[in-house]
Amino acid sequence: MSEPVPVDDARIEVAMRLTPVLLRVGRRVRPASGDLAVGHFSLLGTLYRNGPQRPSDLARIERFTPPAVTRIVGALEDRGLVVRKPSPDDGRSTLVEITDEGRALLVATRTEQAHEIAALLTVLDDDELGVVTAALDSLEKVAREASTALLEV
């Protein structure tokens, strides 16, 4: 595990308010797609964004144990949402790749989630919605950094 990055009090204060907000909204928009859990969709999203990955890389990126990745990949493969292919760089290794069906499910789920969030945002007036909109670039930067940091480890 890497050393914690030192943060100032202002960032801690923002994080203390932001964390429960993100968790509550996240619970509200969890995918409701049969037997697939949040981790399944997270792994599909990683494959969608980053292309085919080795199971060990998926474990690192998703912060899952290798046995958990094996189970999740197996469940996704059984549903036709991912396929395993031999690695072109190492014949002993496999790559996990999202299928067209996996992409379609992911996009449909994200669309459903966006509609849920849009409904939640109806409590905001135009000025408040503008504040949220203005914060999106910064929040997307944070999300990109989180994803990039996991890819570089």
Q: Which two tokens stand for residue 151?
A: 């890819």
Give the pLDDT of residue 147: 67
Q: Using the structure block, give the residue that is written with the tokens 């308010």.
A: 17
Q: Which residues 6+ apart lie within 8 Å of 151 measured at CB?
A: 50, 61
What residues in the chain have per-residue pLDDT under 70?
1-2, 31-35, 147-153
- What's the topology of domain 28-152? Arc Repressor Mutant, subunit A (1.10.10)
**pTM, rounded to two decimals:** 0.79
Give the pLDDT of residue 144: 79
Residue 136 Cα distances to 129, 132, 142, 143, angstroms: 11, 6, 10, 10
Contact at 8 Å (CB) between 88 and 96?
no
How many other CB atoms are found less than 10 A from the CB of residue 129?
13
Q: Where are the domains of the chain?
A: 28-152
Give the pLDDT of residue 16: 93
Q: Which two tokens stand for residue 54?
A: 């080795």
Beta-strand ranges (E) seen in the chain are 82-86, 94-98
Give the pLDDT of residue 149: 58
In 3D space, the residue among 77, 55, 54, 74 whose CA is nearest the CA of residue 66 turns out to be 55
Residues 12 and 35: their CA atoms lie apart, in Å, by 36
Residues 81 and 102: their CA atoms lie apart, in Å, by 4
Mean predicted lDDT score pLDDT of the chain: 88
